[in-house]
Structures are given as C-alpha cells and as structure tokens.
Amino acid sequence: MDFAIYKFPYGFLKIGYQGETLKLLQRADKTSDNDKKTDFTDLVYKEIMEYLNGERTTFDFPYELEGTDFQKKVWKELTRIPYGEIRTYKDIASAIGNKNASRAVGMANNKNPIMILVPCHRVIGANGKLVGYAGGLDMKKGLLDLESRVREIPYLEGQACN
C-alpha cells in the first residue's frame, strides 16, 4: 500500500491506496518522507475537502475495507447511516443482529480504516455524548456540526462535547 499526506483542517490527512482503490483514510499528526501523491489521491483529497466545505455528501471513488467479518459487518452498517443523522453504538449492535454487542461495535469503530466515508463519527454514546473517535472529539464534533448545518437539522441540541 502506498500513502499520500495532505494538509486539511484537522492536521494532516493520510490517504492509503493500492492502485486506484482507497484502503486507508486517517488523520495524521505529520507529513511523511514516503509521500506518493497521484491523480487518484488528488481526487480523494478534492472530494474530502468538498465534503468538509459542505459541498458534497457522497463520494465517487472506490474503496476497500480490510478487517474481520464482524468489523466489516459493523462498517457496512455505518455506511447506512444517512448524512446528517446519528446512531448509538447500541443502535448499530441491534441493526447487525446482536443487541448486546455495543462494546464490540465500539471496538470495530475504533479500527475503522476509512474515516469520513465509513462514518463512525455519526455514532454516539447511549447518553447522547460524543465518545471515541480516532480523529479526536474536536474533529468528531466538527463533522457532526458540519452535517447538521448542511442538512439544517440539529443533531444534539444543547449537548456538550464530553
């Protein structure tokens, strides 16, 4: 897998790819000496920036998820959460047929290799609080705020980011 690093509002965006298939999209703390930008990574970056600017709600490039069967099941369910909406870990556990798997869903979210496209930021705690996000809670809150503004639907009116 090759990588490209781009500057974006939350630091640096690491794009892992194989050919013209996205394999990894994560927030990074710094650039890398092994940076290999291509037309494909430029397209991924362009679409992510359009999303962050409120100009895009879906993506047009191919991606592939690698993980356990359980993780893939959770990640597939995450892709079913509509833009601007949220679910709880328990909601996801119920949707995949195991209502008692909230913690396992949380662990699968934590291992999500493709943030934003596989929208684990749309999953919150049962108490309505923002919990756990690989990009950090500020980024999670920022993404949810963006999506609620674009859809003009408040997601957690009056809730703090704790």
The amino acid at 18: Q
| CB 58 within 8 Å of CB 100 | no
The residues, ordered by sequence, that sit 6+ positions from 91 with a Cβ below 8 Å of its Cβ are 123
Give the span between the Cα atoms of 114 and 65, in whole angstroms.
8
52: enclosing H helix or E strand: helix 39-52
Identify any residues that bridge with 18 across adjacent strands, giving them in sequence order. Answer: 21
**Beta carbons within 10 angstroms of residue 92's beta carbon:** 27
Catalytic: which of 81, 120, 124, 144? 120
- 120 annotated active-site: yes
Q: Which residues are catalytic?
A: 120
